[in-house]
Structure 1
């Protein structure tokens, strides 16, 4: 299954860990992206969960090449057993050619942020699924909703997720929010959170879809697109300094 994609993803993970100033934090980031618990990973590797915890907490020396290889293989194997969702999400980014007018910004976080941190950064108001504010995000994509509707195919839409669905999809020039939420429901792959910017009157159907799909919905009240993107990039820079 997706052999080239698996190899590319494995190289990316191993490279990030090897080059990271804090390999343990990077290992934790990728473990959480794959949705694997410390216990599950430890069982697969045949070690105690405290070993995983010690690596992630920096209490063990930086992992060697053999340890990194086993770590990466474990994540990919576990994902395959679950249906390969992370591998498939990553494969969507390979050779992607998205309409440049539709994508305003697309970044990954060096360390995960919570939805609450995102809300604070963009003057957001959460209108559905308040109980999921602690959900972790590993990136964001800012989309011009008008260009997206006019230019993007269904396949293009899936590429908005980058290498993980655990991200914020942020739609600008939104009038009611109905179209973005319908698109997400139809596509099947769900982001960790949806942000709407420019809303004039929020559609009740958008809220109902958000609640049904368990995808938190945020309305950003920040002044304009430039201010929105600037605030998001400051959040990226903040996380880079924490690494």
Structure 2
């Protein structure tokens, strides 16, 4: 695992985030590390970490690097379970357009508004990330193992399937998978297949359709929820 690459990814996300404190807390939570553990590793008071995460202080780039390195070192000391999960995220299939973990849980309605979508059922779940997939590329190239890479660090995420004609194939894939997303988004579909709608009902998965440009979906979701 390229730790430098992982550290750069996390540092970059914190630096560019509108709410750096929430993003720091998100990554600390992902690494299952307490404020006290990080503070001890950095030889500072845990109240300093609390101040940064609650935005009472603004972290500089130097501190962010130290903070991220502390998370990585603490995880490696515990066996590297979280770090190992990221190995697959740096070897994603080309069908993955975008994959992101959110700084906090997002409600379905807020997510739907961000992508100018239309809800197709009334199920309610929280979303903690998204993966945007080129559906045609996925159908042609995906292995069963590749499908599981779509779930990133958590299955509590929205899977956004682009270039969809009816929505049946994505929902069949979700149906047979042991991992289930929080939400499925069908992009570019004019009329959703009845079987796709039924499968969403059976799995109790919120289903959304949208025609927003893919680049705009990526921009809106990253701006709203990172």
Q: Same fold judged by TM-score > 0.5?
A: yes
Question: Which ranges in structure 1 are unaligned for 5 or more consecutive residues?
Answer: none
After superposition, where does 1:216-227 map in structure 2 within 5 Å?
216-220=205-209, 222=210, 224=211, 227=212
Of 114, 137, 145, the residue aligned with 1:155 is 145
What does residue 110 of structure 2 align with?
117
Could you tell me how far apart the structure 2 residues matched to 1:49 and 1:151 are?
A: 47
Q: Check conservation: 1:14, 1:72, Cα contact below 8 A.
A: no
- C-alpha distance in structure 1 between counterparts of 2:84 and 2:129, whole Å: 17
Alignment partner of 2:50 out of 53, 62, 68: 53
Structure-1 residue corresponding to 2:201: 207
Contact (CA 8 Å) 1:13, 1:72: kept in 2 or not?
no
Structure 1 window deviating more from structure 2 (55-64 vs 16-25): it is 16-25
Residues 1-243 of structure 1: pairs in structure 2 closer than 5 A:
4=1, 8-14=5-11, 16-17=13-14, 23-32=20-29, 34=30, 36=32, 41-45=34-38, 51-62=48-59, 64=63, 65-74=65-74, 80=80, 84=81, 86-98=82-94, 102-103=95-96, 105-106=97-98, 108=100, 114=106, 115-120=108-113, 121-125=115-119, 127=121, 129-130=123-124, 132=125, 135-144=126-135, 146-161=136-151, 165-172=155-162, 173-175=164-166, 177=168, 179-197=169-187, 198=189, 199-201=192-194, 202-209=196-203, 211=204, 216-220=205-209, 222=210, 224=211, 227-236=212-221, 238-239=223-224
Q: What is the count of residue pairs matched by the alignment?
A: 212
Structure-2 change in CA distance of 1:165 and 1:77 (3 Å): farther
For residues 81-108 of structure 1, give each alpha carbon's deviation from its aligned partner in whole angstroms, at most 9, with x where no partner exists. Answer: xxx3x5454222324442xxx55x3254
* SS at 1:92 equivalent: helix
Q: Superposition RMSD on alpha carbons, in Å?
A: 3.9
Query: Relative to structure 1, is the Cα distance of residues 232 and 10 closer, same or farther in structure 2, using a 3 angstrom cutoff?
Result: same
Q: Closer, same or farther in 2 for the Cα pair 1:219/1:97, shift >3 Å?
A: closer
Q: TM-score with structure 1 length normalisation?
A: 0.64
Residues 14, 23 of structure 2: 8 Å contact kept: yes
The unaligned stretches of length 5 or more in structure 2 are none
* Alignment partners' CA distance in 2, 1:79 and 1:236: 33
**Structure-2 change in CA distance of 1:79 and 1:96 (3 Å):** same
